[in-house]
C-alpha cells in the first residue's frame, strides 16, 4: 500500500526546508552582519569587518601615541622653563641680597670710620684754631696791587740762577725781582702779597719790557722829552757765550740800573707795560 500524494507533500516540504541554505546573523559593537546566504559569505564579511576594525584601532593607537608624545614634550618644556625661571629668580634675589648686604656693611664701616675720625678731626681743628696766626693785620689788607704806585715802590733785582732750555745747549739766566710797595715803617714791613711780592723774569723779558716801553711812549704823543733808557748799551757782558758768576753779577747790576731809571721817571713808572712786568694788576 503506497502512501498517497497528499501525505507525501508535507514531508517533502519538511525535507526541502532542512536542505535549504542557513542564514547567519552576526552582531558586533558598531557592526551588524545579517541575511548571509552561506558560511563563506559570512566569513568573508566578517574578515572585512575585522580588518576595518583593526585599521580603526591602529589609527586610534597611533593618534594616542602621537598625542601622548606631544603632551610629554610640552610638559617637559614647561617643566624646564619653570625650573630655569625658578633658579634665575632665586639667583637674582641672592645676588641682590648680597649686594645689599655688602653696601650695608660698607655704609656701616664708613659711618664707623667717620665716628672714629670725628674726635681726631675735632682735636686738629681745635689745635689749629688755638694756634692760628694772625697775618696781614695791616691797612694794606683791603688794598689791591693795582692801587700800588710803582713810582714809590722799591724794585730790587736779585741774584740770577741758570735754567736749562729743552733743545738748546746754552742755559738761560732768570732773575728774581722783588717789588716792595710798603712804607718804611715796621708795621707794614712783611710779605703781604698786596704790599710785597716776588716775580721772576729772564733777560729776554727785560728786553721785551724795553721795547714795550718804547712802543707805549711813542703812542703817547704828549710825553715829549721822555726817553727810555737803553738796557744793554755799552754792556759787552750781555753777549758773552758763557754765563759765569761774574757775567751774571754784571748783568744783574745793569738790570737794576735800568729798573731804577724807569721807576724814577714820573711818566715811565705809570706805563701799563711796567705794571704788567711787575704783575701789579
| pLDDT tens-digit readout, 7-19 | 454 444 444 444 4
Dihedral sign for Cα atoms in the order 28, 30, 32, 33: negative
Q: Given pLDDT bands bounded at 50, 70 and 90, which one contains residue 2?
A: very low
CA 86, CA 93: separation in Å to the nearest integer? 11
pLDDT at res. 208: 92
Beta-carbon contacts of residue 237 (< 8 Å; ≥ 6 apart)? 247, 250, 251, 254
Q: Is residue 164 part of a domain?
A: yes
Range of the domain at 45: 1-113
- Reported pTM: 0.47
- The DSSP bridge partners found for residue 105 are none
Q: Is 216 in the same domain as 152?
A: yes
Q: Is residue 127 part of a domain?
A: no
pLDDT at res. 260: 92
| pLDDT tens-digit readout, 85-139 | 889 888 888 888 887 777 777 777 777 777 777 777 777 777 766 655 444 445 5
Q: Is 271 in the same domain as 197?
A: yes
Q: Is 101 in the same domain as 27?
A: yes
Beta-carbon contacts of residue 191 (< 8 Å; ≥ 6 apart)? 197
pLDDT at res. 244: 80
Q: Is residue 133 part of a domain?
A: no
Indicate the number of domains in the chain. 2
Q: Is 79 in the same domain as 149?
A: no
Beta-carbon contacts of residue 27 (< 8 Å; ≥ 6 apart)? 33
Q: Is 53 in the same domain as 178?
A: no
Determine the angle formed by the axes of helices 245-264 and 203-219, rounding to 10 degrees. 20
pLDDT at res. 262: 92
- Which one has a higher pLDDT value, 124 or 78? 78
pLDDT at res. 173: 86
Amino acid at each position: 500500500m503506497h502512501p498517497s500524494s497528499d501525505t507525501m507533500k508535507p514531508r517533502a516540504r519538511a525535507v526541502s526546508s532542512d536542505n535549504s541554505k542557513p542564514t547567519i546573523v552576526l552582531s558586533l559593537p558598531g557592526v551588524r552582519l545579517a541575511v548571509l546566504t552561506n558560511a563563506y559569505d559570512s566569513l568573508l564579511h566578517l574578515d572585512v569587518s575585522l580588518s576595518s576594525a583593526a585599521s580603526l584601532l591602529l589609527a586610534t593607537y597611533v593618534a594616542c601615541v602621537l598625542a601622548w608624545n606631544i603632551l610629554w614634550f610640552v610638559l617637559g618644556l614647561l617643566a624646564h622653563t619653570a625650573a630655569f625661571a625658578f633658579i634665575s629668580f632665586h639667583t637674582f634675589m641672592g645676588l641682590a641680597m648680597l649686594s645689599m648686604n655688602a653696601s650695608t656693611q660698607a655704609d656701616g664701616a664708613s659711618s664707623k670710620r667717620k665716628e672714629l675720625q670725628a674726635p681726631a678731626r675735632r682735636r686738629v681743628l681745635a689745635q689749629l684754631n688755638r694756634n692760628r696766626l694772625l697775618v696781614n693785620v695791616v691797612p694794606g689788607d683791603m688794598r689791591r696791587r693795582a692801587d700800588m704806585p710803582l713810582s714809590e715802590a722799591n724794585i730790587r733785582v736779585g741774584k740770577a740762577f741758570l735754567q736749562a732750555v729743552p733743545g738748546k745747549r746754552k742755559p738761560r739766566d732768570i732773575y728774581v725781582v722783588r717789588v716792595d710797595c710798603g712804607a718804611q715803617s715796621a708795621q707794614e714791613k712783611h710779605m703781604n702779597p698786596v704790599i710785597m711780592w716776588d716775580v721772576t723774569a729772564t733777560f729776554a723779558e727785560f728786553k721785551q719790557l724795553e721795547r714795550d716801553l718804547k712802543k707805549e711812549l711813542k703812542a703817547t704823543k704828549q710825553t715829549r722829552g721822555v726817553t727810555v733808557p737803553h738796557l744793554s748799551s755799552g754792556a759787552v757782558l750781555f753777549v758773552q757765550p758763557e754765563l759765569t758768576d761774574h757775567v751774571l753779577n754784571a748783568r744783574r747790576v745793569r738790570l737794576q740800573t735800568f729798573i731804577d731809571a724807569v721807576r724814577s721817571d714820573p711818566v715811565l713808572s705809570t706805563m701799563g707795560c711796567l705794571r704788567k712786568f711787575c704783575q701789579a694788576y
